[in-house]
Chain A
Amino acid sequence: MEINWGLIWPILALQAILAVTGLVSLFKAEPANIRGPRWMWVLIILLGNILGSIAYFAAGRRET
């Protein structure tokens, strides 16, 4: 069975969109509005796949 990359790349693209959006939001936020250190969230977003980005969007930022 041949792997059809035309089917796979949208998955990779969506994961990239999630991670990039998370990182953009992380670096635009004031340090005071981030829960915990920034580098920790960078690692979580980059290594945690979908769940890492979800975790950041759900819990990473403080309401001001």
Chain B
Amino acid sequence: MKPFWIYYQKEMLEASRTYKWIWVPAVFLLLGIMQPVSTYYLPEILTMSGEVPPEAAALFTIPSADSVMASTLSQFSTIGLLVLVLAGMNTVAGERATGTAELVLTRTVSTLPMMGAKWAAMMTLMLVSFALGLAGAAYYTHQLIGPLEWGAVASGGLLYAVWLAWIVTLVLPLGAVLRGPAAAFISLGTAAALSLLSGLLPSRFQWSPGRLSSMAAEWMLGAGAGAWAPVIAALLIMLLSIIAAAGLLRRSPLSPQS
């Protein structure tokens, strides 16, 4: 357990020294707040833009509180996910490319504690940022639009966190083989492909962790179906990713050029 904590501290320190602990939570909080606020002021904005006659803007009905929360999640799925993957893409790939892994790996036998700590540090950043963003969205929605069912928000948020977690975890094994940007691109591509497939063929992809984002939105709307299969699939993907990343890093701790 001890090497794990040493690495975890190092990863957390690195994330704060490279400003990740400021910009990632700030982006999530912004995304979370802006959705309810812009929904609330949409009629004003439409009127002010002058392209819509005031009568039409007045007809615009403000959506329900829980559907505002659900559309906040789709904000997190685009910019939020991009930010998490970009922030995490160099945790493994960077150590290989710059060569810092060489000195560290002469001191330890197993790369598993190191990889576990990298994962845990990424998850810490992700959970804190996402919780902040979700709380901000919920608070503003509650204030501006209407009362919320807190249980549905919490359970939907939890399910959504699993969705974010498994995609972000993919950059670990990918980074042990590829360069950072390539790892980021492929993990985002995998996520997009899986959620597209499970949207097109829902019966074939019952288990697909790609369903988690849309299921989380449904849970927030209070219409929750059972999500055990995709959650278990996501957890398995994370576990396998960490183990694979540890093995791959041990086999080639240095980027090919050195």
Contacts and interface: CB of A to CB of B under 8 A. Distances in A.
Contact of B30 (A1, A7, A15, A25): A15
Interface stretch (B83-91, B153-161, B216-224, B238-246): B83-91
Contacts of B87: 57-58
User: Contact residue range for chain B?
Assistant: 20 to 34
A21 B21 CA distance: 11
Interface residues of A, number: 21
Interface in B11-58: 19-20, 22-23, 26-27, 29-30, 33-34, 37, 41, 43-44
A48 B180 CA distance: 24
A17 B30 CA distance: 11
B33 A11 contact: yes
The prevalent SS among residues of B at the interface is helix
Nearest to A1: B44
Most chain-A CB neighbours within 10 Å: which of B19, B37, B41? B19
A41 to B, nearest CB: 14
Contacts of B79: 50-51, 54
Given A7-B37, A11-B33, A53 B140 contact: no
State the majority secondary structure of interface residues on A: helix
Interface of A: 1, 3, 7-8, 10-11, 14-15, 17-18, 21-22, 25, 50-51, 53-54, 57-58, 63-64
24 contacts: A1-B43, A3-B41, A7-B143, A10-B33, A11-B37, A14-B26, A15-B30, A18-B23, A18-B26, A18-B27, A18-B30, A21-B19, A21-B22, A21-B26, A22-B23, A25-B19, A53-B23, A54-B83, A54-B86, A57-B19, A58-B83, A58-B86, A58-B87, A63-B90
Interface of B: 19-20, 22-23, 26-27, 29-30, 33-34, 37, 41, 43-44, 79, 82-83, 86-87, 90, 94, 97-98, 140, 143-144
